[in-house]
Structure 1
Amino acid sequence: MTRLINDPAAFADEMTEGFVAAHADRVCAVPGGVVRATEVPAGQVAVVVGGGSGHYPAFAGLVGAGLADGAVLGNVFASPSAQQVVSVGRATERGGGILLSYGNYAGDCLNFDAAQERLRDSGIEVRTVRVTDDICSAPISERGKRRGIAGDLVVFKTAGAAAAQGLPLEQVTQLAQRANDRTRSIGVAFSGCTLPGASQPLFTVPEGRMAVGLGIHGEPGLDEVDLPTADGLAQLLVERLLAELPEGVERNSHAAVLLNGLGTVKHEELFVVYRKISQLLEDAGVSVVAPEVGELCTSFDMAGVSLTLTWLDPELEDLWLAPADSPAFRRGTLSPRPRRAGLTAATPEAEEIPPATDGSKAAAGLLVELLSAVEATIETNVEELGRIDAVAGDGDHGIGMQRGARAAAAAGRAAYSRGAGAGSVLTVAGDAWADKAGGTSGALWGMALRRMGIRLGDQAGPTAATVAQALHEARTAITETGGARLGDKTLVDVLIPLDETYRRTVDSGSGGIEAAAIAAAEGEKAAAATSDLLPRTGRARPHAERSLGTPDAGAVSLSLVARTVHTTLSTVLSTTTGR
C-alpha cells in the first residue's frame, strides 16, 4: 500500500512538485504537467504524452531529449483535463505542430480530443496516436478498443526520436502509429494495488494464484490460473504474444522487448523471468533489439509484470536505438543543450466576470451554498464511492469527485465574491471541476455545470422552469459527448430520470423544491437499480460480471448530489422565508 502521503487528494500534485525538484535539470513544471527544461529547436514537432498519475516512469519520467517534450499529468489513475492538455501543449509547441499520444481510455480520449480541438482552433496543427497494445482488453477484431499499457514507451520513443530528426508532423505521426500497430503486450498480477489513502487494495488474488490480463489502473484480470514458476510465466507470456503477430510480420523478425515490473516485483525476479523469455524468443527465431527489463509503466504497489513485443522494421529499429535522455529512460549520448529561456509556471489570470443583475447575484449566493454542500457530501462519501468504483473499475471515482467538488466550490465562492451572477458562478465552477478532477467523470460534470450556467445566464434570477431547461441541456451535453445511454450502467441512468422527473413535475405546476424532492427520490431509485445492470462502456466493461450486485459509482454520486441539492434548498429557503 501507499504509506507516505499527506492528503490523498493532493498526492498527484505533491508528487509532481517533488519530481520536478529532483530533476530540475531536465524538466520544468507548467500548469497541467511538466515540459523539457532544455532548449528545443524552432520548428521541431512537439511530442506531448500523458495520462493519470500512479504509473511512473510513465509519463513524467519520459520527458526529455529524444523522447517526449511534455507530459500531462492527471490525478491518480484519472485522465488529465482538457485544460491541462492545452496548457502543456502550448508550453511545448515550437512551430512544428503537436503530436498527442496516450493510452486508449475513455477519459483520456474525451479530454485529449477536446484539447486537440481547442489547440487547432488557436491555429496549432495537432495529430493524435492512441496506444492500443494490450491484447487482453479486446479481441483482434476490435483492436481499436484495446487499452494502452507498457507498450506506450515504444510508441513515445519512436515519436520522440522521429521529431528529434526534424521530420514533419505527418511523418512523425505515421511512424508512431506504425510502432503502435506493431506492438503487443500482456500483463499478469499476483496481488492488487492500493490507492493513496485507501485501506484495501483494488482487487485481490488468492494465494498461489495469478490474474492474467489485468489493467494498469487496478482493473482485475480477465482470467485466473495457478501461480507458475518463473519459466512457466515466461512461456505463458511469450506464447500469448507470438500467437498474435501483426499483419505482415514473420516470427523471424527483429523485435523490441520490454519486461515491465508493475510495482513490487524486483529486478532480480524480472531477470530470472527474462532469462527464459530470451531463450524462448531465440528458439522462435526472434532477433531481440535493445531489450528493457525494469519498471517502465507501473501501478503503484501492484505485484505483477507485463511483456511487450514491438516488431521492428529497419526504420523503427533506428528510432528505437536513437539516443534519448529523460529522468527515467536514457540511451546513448546527446550533446548538452542550453536551458530554455522565458519558461514560467505562472497560473492563468482570472477571467473577467460579466455584469449581473441583483436577482442573478442573489441566486448566485444560493448556488455557492449548494456547491459547498455538495463538497461536504462528497467528502463524507469519498471512500465509499472509491470502494464501489473498485469492484470493476479503477477505484478513482471518489478521489476524482472530491477534487472536482472542492475546486468547484472554491471557484464558485471566488467568482461570487467578485460580483458574479448565477450563470457565471456555475460556468466558473464547471471549468474548475473539469480541470481538477480530470477523467471522464470530471469532464462530464464540468460540461454539465458549464452548460447549465450558460442557460441560466446572469441577467435574471432562475425559476423552476429555467432550471428545468438548464438541467435538460446538461443532460443533452453529457449524452451527446459521452455516448452513454440508459442501461449502460453509468451516471446517465440517473441523469435521464432526474431530468425527466424534474421537468414533468415543474410542468404540472409544482414549485422547484417539490420538483427537486421528487426528482431526487427518482434518482436514488435509479442509482440503486444500476446494481442489476452490466456495464457496456468504460473501464468496467471488460469486467462486467464482477459489477453485478453493485451500483455504478457515477450513478450513486449523482444521486447523492441531487439529494444534497434538495436538502440544502429546503433548509436555506425555509430559513430565509421563516417557514
Structure 2
Amino acid sequence: MTNISNGATEFAGDMLSGYSSAYSRYLSLVPGAGVVRRTVDARATTRLVLGGGSGHFPWTAGFVGAGLADGAALGDVFTSPSAEQIYRVAKALPPAGGVLFCYGNYAGDVLHFDMAQARLRGEGVDCRGVVVTDDVASAAADNSAARRGIAGSLAVFKVAGAAVARGDGIDDVERIARLANARTRSLGVAFAGCTLPGAAEPLFRVEPGSIAIGLGIHGEPGIRTVPSMPARELAALLVGALLPEAPAGNSGRVTAILNGLGATSHEELYVLWGGIARLLGDAGIEVVMPEVGELATSLDMAGCSLTLSWLDDELAELWAAPADTPSFRRAAGQVPVADGKQLAVAVPKAEVADSRDVNGRDAGGRLVEQGDGGAGPEVDLARVALAAMLAAVSKAEPELGRLDAVAGDGDHGSGMARGLRAAVDTAGLGHRDLSSLLRAAGLAWSDKGGGTSGALWGVLLGGVADGLADDGQGYSASRVVAAVSLGRDRVVEAGHASVGDKTMLDALVPFVDVLRTAVESGAPLSAAWSGAAQVATEAAAATADLRPRVGRARPLAERSLGSPDPGAVSLALCLTAAGSVLAAPPA
C-alpha cells in the first residue's frame, strides 16, 4: 500500500513536484503536465517526448535527460496524460525540425497523443507518433500491432534518444524507433498485485504459492496462473516464451532488460538474471549491455518482466551510446561513436499555449473568469446537468473502480469523477452560449480525466458542441438529437470500436437510436431522453455477457465475462442524471 501520501487525488502531482525538485539539475517542471530537459543536445534537430501514466517510475519521467528523452508528459496514476498535457510539454521545448512522441499502446494514450499531434500539426509542427508493442502476452504474434507496451519501451526510447542526440532528422529517428519496436519482445509475471494510492485493497491478488503470467504494468492481472517455481524454471519460462519470437534474419545479438515491478528486491532479480544469462548463452545469443533493475514499475507490485531486443549494428551502437538522466546513465566511450562529446545549450523559458478562448484557462493552466455575454437558460440547464452527472458518478465511484479492476487497472471511477469535476468547474465560468460551454467542459474533462474515457468524453461533448453551434436556430429537440448523433459519430471514429466490442458505445448507440425515434414520433425531449437513458442502462448491464474486443480489457476477455463494462455503466449513469434535470429543469 501507499504509506506516504497527502491524499489519492494529490499523489501524482505531489510526486512530480518532488521529483522535479530533486533532479532540477536535469529537468524543469511543466506545471500540471510533465517535465522537460534543462539542456538539449546542440546537434539535435528533433525532440523526443515520452508519455504515460504515473505509478511506473522511472518510466517515463526518469528517462528525461542527455542522450535520451527531451520531455515526458505524465497523467494521473495508471492514467494516460491528456492531449492538453502532451501539447504543453511539447510546446515547452525549443522549436526543432520535428517532434517524435513515443508511448505505450494503450487506448487512452493513443487517443490523447493523436489529438495533441493534430493540434501541433495545425500549428505547422512536424510530429510523429510511435507506439510500443512489446508485450507478447497481450496479443498473438500475427496481431502484434494490438500488443501493449511494457518495459521493452526503454529499448525503443533509448535508441531513439541516441539518434536525436547525434543529430538525426525526424524521418530517421522515427525509422529507428519503429525498427527497435519491431525487434523488441517482453513478458511479465506477478507474485502479488499492486494497490492504488488511497485504496484499501490491491487491484488483484495472486494466491500464495502461485505466479500470474502475462500481467500489465497498469495492474492488469495475468492471463493465466501457474504454481510457484524455482528461479531456474522461471528463467526458462521467460526465455522460452521470447526466443521463438526472434525476428527473421537477426544477428544473434540482443540487449536484455530484466525489470522489477516495484516490490521485488534487486537481489532476487540478480538470482533470476543468472539463470536467464546461462540460457541465452546456451542458445548462442550474445547479450549486449543488459540492464537489471526497476525501470518500469507498477507501484508496489511484486513481479518482474524480461525483455529481449534484437540488435543490428546501428541499434547496438545507439543502445550503447552515452546517456545521463536521473534513472538511466551510461558513460561515453563504451563503443566508438562519431563524436563522443555531449554538447548542450540552454533551454529557453518554458512556453505554454494560452488557451483561454477554448477552455477558460490562461497560459499557466488557471481558470479565468469570462463574461456571460447574454447566455440563455440552456446554459444554466447544462451546468445543472453536469453537476448532477458528477453527483451520480461520485456516488458510484467505488463500484465503477471495482468493475474496472476486473480486467483493467481500477481507475475508471476516479478518472470519471476527476474529469467531471473539471467539467463542472469550467462550466461554472461565464460562457456565451451552450456550444462554448460544452466544448470547454469537454476539453477540461479530457485534460483532467485522462485515460480512454477522458478522451472519449471530450470527443463526445466536442461533437455535441459543434452540432449546437450558436447560429440563431435555437435548440429544438430534433437539433439536440442531431448534435448527440454527431457526438456519437465522433466517438466511433476516435475509438475505432463498434457495438459488441464491450465499450461505452454499447450504451451510447442504442441511446441515440431510441432518442431519435422518440423525438421523430413527437415525444417531448425530456421524455424521449429519459426513455433512451433507461435503454442505455439496460444495454450497459447487458455488456456483462460480452467479451471485450478492444482496449485494455481485451487480453483478459474471459475474466470480464459476467461483469458489465465500466465505461458503458458510467455513461448510462450520466445520461440518466442529465435526463432527470431535463425532466425537472431549474427555475
TM tier relative to shorter chain: over 0.9
- Could you tell me which amino acid in structure 2 is paired with residue 4 of structure 1? I
- Could you tell me which amino acid in structure 2 is paired with residue 426 of structure 1? L
Matches within 5 A, 1:56-75: 56-75=57-76
Q: Is the 8 A contact 1:290 1:321 kept in 2?
A: yes
- Is 1:272 paired with 2:254? no
Matches within 5 A, 1:394-413: 394-413=409-428
| Partner of residue 22, structure 2 | 22
Residue by residue, what CA displacement relative to the aligned partner does 1:51-110 show, whole Å, maximum 9, x if unpaired?
111111001000000000011112221222222222222222532211111111222222
- Paired with 1:296 and 1:173, the residues of 2 have a C-alpha distance of 23
- Paired with 2:43 and 2:584, the residues of 1 have a C-alpha distance of 59
- Paired with 2:164 and 2:439, the residues of 1 have a C-alpha distance of 38
State the SS of the aligned residue for 1:488: coil
Matches within 5 A, 1:495-534: 495-534=508-547
State the SS of the aligned residue for 1:434: helix
Distance 1:59 1:341, change over 3 A: closer
Matches within 5 A, 1:309-458: 309-333=308-332, 340-344=346-350, 348-351=354-357, 358=374, 360-414=375-429, 416=430, 419-458=431-470
- Paired with 1:49 and 1:341, the residues of 2 have a C-alpha distance of 18
- Paired with 1:314 and 1:428, the residues of 2 have a C-alpha distance of 50
Deviation at 1:335, TM superposition (A): 6.6
- Paired with 1:179 and 1:164, the residues of 2 have a C-alpha distance of 17
Q: Is the 8 A contact 2:93 2:347 kept in 1?
A: no
| Partner of residue 9, structure 1 | 9
Distance 1:346 1:121, change over 3 A: closer
Matches within 5 A, 1:72-221: 72-221=73-222
Deviation at 1:259, TM superposition (A): 0.6
Q: Is the 8 A contact 1:29 1:345 kept in 2?
A: no
- Paired with 1:108 and 1:487, the residues of 2 have a C-alpha distance of 22
Matches within 5 A, 1:234-273: 234-249=235-250, 253-273=252-272
- Paired with 2:502 and 2:246, the residues of 1 have a C-alpha distance of 35
State the SS of the aligned residue for 1:111: helix
Q: Is the 8 A contact 2:92 2:350 kept in 1?
A: no
- Could you tell me which amino acid in structure 1 is paired with residue 288 of structure 2? V
Residue by residue, what CA displacement relative to the aligned partner does 1:399-436 show, whole Å, maximum 9, x if unpaired?
2111210111111112x2xx421111111001111111
| Partner of residue 294, structure 1 | 293
Deviation at 1:453, TM superposition (A): 1.5
Deviation at 1:42, TM superposition (A): 6.6
Range moving further from structure 2, 498-507 or 426-435: 498-507
Deviating above 6 A after TM superposition, structure 1's stretches of 4 or more consecutive aligned residues are 334-339, 352-357
- Paired with 1:122 and 1:378, the residues of 2 have a C-alpha distance of 36
Distance 1:90 1:344, change over 3 A: closer
Q: TM-score, normalised by structure 2?
A: 0.93
- Paired with 1:439 and 1:405, the residues of 2 have a C-alpha distance of 13
Deviation at 1:261, TM superposition (A): 0.3
State the SS of the aligned residue for 2:19: helix
Among all aligned residue pairs of Structure 1 and Structure 2, give the percentage whose two residues are the same amino acid.
49
Q: TM-score, normalised by structure 1?
A: 0.94
- Could you tell me which amino acid in structure 1 is paired with residue 480 of structure 2? V
Deviation at 1:518, TM superposition (A): 0.9
Deviation at 1:443, TM superposition (A): 1.0
- Could you tell me which amino acid in structure 1 is paired with residue 4 of structure 2? L
| Partner of residue 473, structure 1 | 486
- Paired with 1:274 and 1:59, the residues of 2 have a C-alpha distance of 24
| Partner of residue 53, structure 1 | 54
Range moving further from structure 2, 84-93 or 483-492: 84-93
Q: Is the 8 A contact 1:531 1:549 kept in 2?
A: yes
- Paired with 2:346 and 2:399, the residues of 1 have a C-alpha distance of 45
- Could you tell me which amino acid in structure 1 is paired with residue 194 of structure 2? C
Range moving further from structure 2, 423-432 or 462-471: 462-471
Residue by residue, what CA displacement relative to the aligned partner does 1:483-513 show, whole Å, maximum 9, x if unpaired?
2211111111110111112222222222222
- Paired with 2:56 and 2:94, the residues of 1 have a C-alpha distance of 25
Q: Is the 8 A contact 2:63 2:326 kept in 1?
A: yes
Deviation at 1:301, TM superposition (A): 1.0
- Paired with 1:30 and 1:362, the residues of 2 have a C-alpha distance of 38
The number of residues matched between the two structures is 568
- Could you tell me which amino acid in structure 1 is paired with residue 313 of structure 2? P
Distance 1:450 1:257, change over 3 A: same
State the SS of the aligned residue for 2:497: coil
| Partner of residue 549, structure 1 | 562
State the SS of the aligned residue for 2:49: strand
State the SS of the aligned residue for 2:382: helix
Deviation at 1:337, TM superposition (A): 6.4
Distance 1:293 1:233, change over 3 A: same
Range moving further from structure 2, 500-509 or 531-540: 500-509
User: 5+ residue gaps in structure 1?
Assistant: none
State the SS of the aligned residue for 2:39: coil
Q: Is the 8 A contact 1:99 1:169 kept in 2?
A: yes
- Paired with 2:268 and 2:260, the residues of 1 have a C-alpha distance of 9
- Paired with 2:468 and 2:63, the residues of 1 have a C-alpha distance of 44
Residue by residue, what CA displacement relative to the aligned partner does 1:280-316 show, whole Å, maximum 9, x if unpaired?
2122222221111110101111111001111112211
Q: Is the 8 A contact 1:362 1:461 kept in 2?
A: no
- Paired with 1:503 and 1:282, the residues of 2 have a C-alpha distance of 65
Q: Is the 8 A contact 2:388 2:577 kept in 1?
A: yes
